[in-house]
Structure 1
Amino acid sequence: MLVWIGTCHNIKQILAADIRFVPFRIEIFPMCSVCQLQFTLKGPLPYLLPCLHAVCETCVTSAAGGVISCSTCHRKVNLTDTSLQKDAVRQKEIYHLTVKHRSTDLICTHEDNGNQAVCWCQECDEFLCEYCQNMHSNFKLTRTHVLQNLTDMEPTSSNIPTCCSIHKHDSLYLFDKSCRKLICARCWIEDHSDHEVKKIDVVADTITKQLDHHKNELSKLQARQQSHMQSIRQGSEATDRTYNTLKESIGHTFQTLRSQLDQREKELLVDLESHTKETQATLHARLNTCQEDWKTCTGVLDYIAKALLYASKSALMDLESCVGKMTQVCLDTVMPQTHDIPTAVYNTSSLSKLKSRISEFGTILTCEMGGESVKDKDTQTYDFIADLEMKHKMDITELKTKIDADEKHIENLNLLTDQLNAEIKSLKSRIDEKENVEKRATQTMDFLRDLASEYSVHLLNQGAVDTSMLLKCIHLKYDKDRVNLDYVHINTEGDLVNRKSDTRPAGEGRLKKYRGTCSTAPLPRAGSPQYWEVTNRVSLNKPLTGNNLILESGVCWEEQRDVHHCIAAQPSSWCMTVARCTTHGGVCRQTGQEQENVLCLPDPLPNTAGASHTLHYGVVYDDTRKKIVFIDVKENKVISTLDNVDSSQPLWPMFGVYNPRLLTVSMTLVVVSDINMTEEKKAMIVKALLGGWQ
């Protein structure tokens, strides 16, 4: 019935396609993943969900509780946490589908005359009717425009530059990576001079290559999925074939068993009948003999009774000899014993074993070897003699196995002395090793005493004498000879401040682009983790907007120290920045690893003017485990852990402070003696280094 219904449905589709009642397929236009209504050129705009499905503007504005549930993939989106962008790709798709399949819906937009459009001017962004097309081609200002007939239009990307909304005559051909927006040349000079800006063509080419890479990877994945689905379908078909084969085999096997049981029943009934007839014949012969003896005995008894009644004394004297002989004949006759009569017994001593064999008979095996199913040999029918032979062989094999085991046991007993000698030797080796460990422990304690004279050393794991679990609080100093005095300076208290220096002593080694300074030397290559802290006093002059930086602390290779005004999102750099975040709308702590943003945590301080705040951060660098850990000392928690730190070249600690027009920042390197290394902080560092933090 199911096959018949599916066939009818296919026939209806074929008839509908042949008759062509409609000029286009209804499902060709994309639909909203919430209300399932089609998008149209003049309808609500499509918005892009994080799952890449589309939702119409109506559903976005009317979402219950600010939550949208995608009916396609069943994912939920909270609009209070996620801001949706317009789906420009589907807008362009709807436009081209309308041109191709609903061209009658397109009205001339150049003149409000209600005429049907026949072409499109990409530069004017207008549909034109035949009259406006002729006028457009005749005007001097528009005669050079390229007009596209609606019947010939194909999907293409527009390369016509858009004008800036602030500077009307300048084209938007630059992309600000910090603000994530298109700008013109004047915008770059006036408001975005300290941001990372690239040409839109370069950014678009990079994104295009990334999309091509994603496309290739997904195509390969889809091919693997297609192959996997095909193998599953083949497995399903093979399972059906196996089912039919086994069903037929099971039926044949049990039919054979039934035939054998019926034949055995007939044989037993024949044996029973033969045995019964033989027994009955024997018993009948005994009965006849017994009846004859009974008649003889009865006749003698009758005659004796009559003799006693009628015979005279003299006659009795004559009868004594004759009657005595007959009596003796009767008494000497052998009387058959009834318990000697042969009987038949139905032997069922092996019935329980037979029932057990039947209950275990015919197991279905599902294991596979080399891609082929293992056949169940027990589903074949064997006769009883073959089973006995197999059992006999198994018993012999088991007996041989026991003999071999006994021989091995004897051999093991012979080797016992050698093993005991080896144990004694091993114990002596352990004793020597223990003495060596104690010696190394003494040397390690001497090493700890030497470290304590140079650094402030803390043992992260009590009871473990291991340099990888020794935390060294190192002495870092600002490199005053490399401070970028065009933007920052070090005051008399030794703090790094985001203000120009009143005096600018000469120094060819000073940083030119980086808004801060570095340490006096790179981090030493050590087998134990290293730790330092910075405190920052921050006061906002006014609320921050855009992606305004406040401060930065991290490490980088020497060649990256003066490439940009900050090391965030640069190659061979690992850092934490405090900045205004456009995603969360407030001030956030952002950690980055080389050219990738790893984590963004909001609200280290309120984005309000006037108040002063202190931010206290710690940094752990573990050269052995290739990790950097950033800690919020005030909140007593790990901000982020960065793995796979490339220390093939020396790493320089970097310190940056920014935007003097908007805020005041004073960064202090904490003296080692002032670092409060609590047990809770040490446990937190251990957990981060051993992989407990994400």
Structure 2
Amino acid sequence: MDTFPKCSVCHQEFTLKGPVPYLLPCLHAVCETCVTSAAGGVISCSTCQREVNLTDTSLQKDAVRQKEIFHLTVKHRPTELLCTHEDDGNQAACWCQECEEFLCEYCQNMHSSFKLSRNHAVHNFGDITPQNLEIETNCSIHKRYPLDLFDKSCDMCICSMCRRGEHADHEVGYLDEAAEGVTQRIEQHGKDLSALLSRQQTHLQSIRQDTQLTNRTQDRFRKTIEHTFRSLRSQLDQREKELLIDLESQTRETKTTLHALEASCEEHHARCTDISGYIRKCLLYASKSVLLQLETTVEGMTRTCLETASPETHDVPEAVFNTNGLSKLKSDMSGFGNITTLKEDSEGGTPEDKQTQTDDDYLADLEQKHEMELAKLKSTIALDNERTEQLQQLTDKLNADANNMKLMLAEKEQSCQVASENIHHLQTFLIDFPTEGCVHLLKTGVADRRMVLHCLHLKYDKDRANLDKVHINTEGDLVNRKSDTRPAGKGRLKKYHGTCSTVPLPRAGCPQYWEMKSRVSLDKTAPEDLLILQVGVCQEEQRDLGHLIGGRPGSYCMNIAHCTKHGGICRETRKEWECVLHQPDTLPNTAGASHTLHYGVVYDDARKKIVFIDVKENKVISTSDNVDSSQPLWPMFGVYNPHLLTVSMTLLVGSDINMTEEKKAMIVKAL
């Protein structure tokens, strides 16, 4: 997980709803609480030990870190975000960039249905990046005009109306061009710091290598001294101790020097790393106006780092142990052995005297030779300087490319991690699905159980069918004719004109779906209140209280019947006692007319919804919310009035259902 920024005074993590971060001149952040409670009006940054007098310095809100905190919260702590549109306490699922509001699934559907907001840029939490957090800011004076110009004289962003007013005589350019120039300059500051960090890293590595070399030299000399004095132990015990003490003293001094150099270099390296990191955040999160505000501060801190950089060279004397004249020293034990540092011989050799220093010809030739060598040396130096500059530019470019490659690899690794987690989540919540039926993903790549549609493997319960009114034929269809072959037995439905499923609907935590295709033939014109068919669900005790289940607690159904209100055959949906919808002219009321009706039912126990769908017309008929799922619900199928019409209802389940992308989208919108 990415690290949330912390206050440089109280060290508390910034949160989206916590104290606002303010930007210190050293580019570190301090929370609003520490700013308002600063003792004596002075803030001391614990990261760089720099003190800021608030009476002399006006702090601005850290817009870069505010966006960083917003992005990290959405990325890693989305469960903390609640819907701000209705303040209903629902879990937020997306962010409207233009309204600057968090929306739950319900508010998102409403938001997309309003004409005023249907074209707004709404981002799911998983799709939010630092780039789409950029919000176009309008002028505080001329509300409808965006801030798309930059007044160089006033050093501020203005709109086109401001340009015609009090800024008419000022030097004004486009905001994009001004921001692009600042971006390039800040990028150059980042490159300069990257080059300095690279050199400092090399210097630190050199110091550590010299420290290791000093340790190895110490170990090597220790063994040499011990080996030498082993043969002279009786005479050299005391001298050995003196030399070892001398060795320890000189080694300690050398290591102390190296440690001091290392600590100084690491401190400056850490300071440069902080500033370089903030520059990267600026380029990632800062808006154009914030970039313009930060340029001076970033440039000042970059110049300070470049000017106060510690030397990148150091001189470490090398120690040697001299054993020359060992045989002589055996007789002179008291002065044998010493630890010295190896110094470069400063005495150069003396050129051979040709005894011709008064010869004019020789001097002229020698002078000409020296001039030629000097010119050649100058040319070589110039060429070396040019190559050094080219190598430095190439190194800077390679470092920049390496940094970009690291960022790309990090983003790719993060994307792979998210994909792996999604796959893991899908495997986790798909593993306990029943083997019967068929499973479809309503939204590709969304690892959410509520986005998995389970096409159930339902069956008509032949043992409960009311054989006095209906029967199930050899093709497995429910027909509105009583059975002539099987008498009604124990456990069968007595009052309901139909049957139920063999088992109730499972509480799977995901949408469940089944379909019915009914063939209807009218033998005569349907009279008033004629009931043709019914599909729906109800609780167990409501299954056989009457010839249908509508108008009872815990029941939800759709009826096809003749309606006195519209004077034709209507489609009616009911939620318990309440009539939800009437749709007239479902099929023509003409003797001899034949029609095929194809409906689907979605039951979502997690969202507590039931949806009725017209498959042929590819549209949602009605949606019932707040479904009572405290008890298991049973699918019900009814067919009626055999003396006036013929109904044959086929149950489509599992893989027999043609699940198209259009049908998935319709179900998602309804839920």
| TM-score after normalising by structure 1 | 0.38
Bigger CA radius of gyration: 1
| TM-score after normalising by structure 2 | 0.39
Report 1 or 2 for greater relative contact order, CA contacts < 8 Å, sequence distance ≥ 6. 2
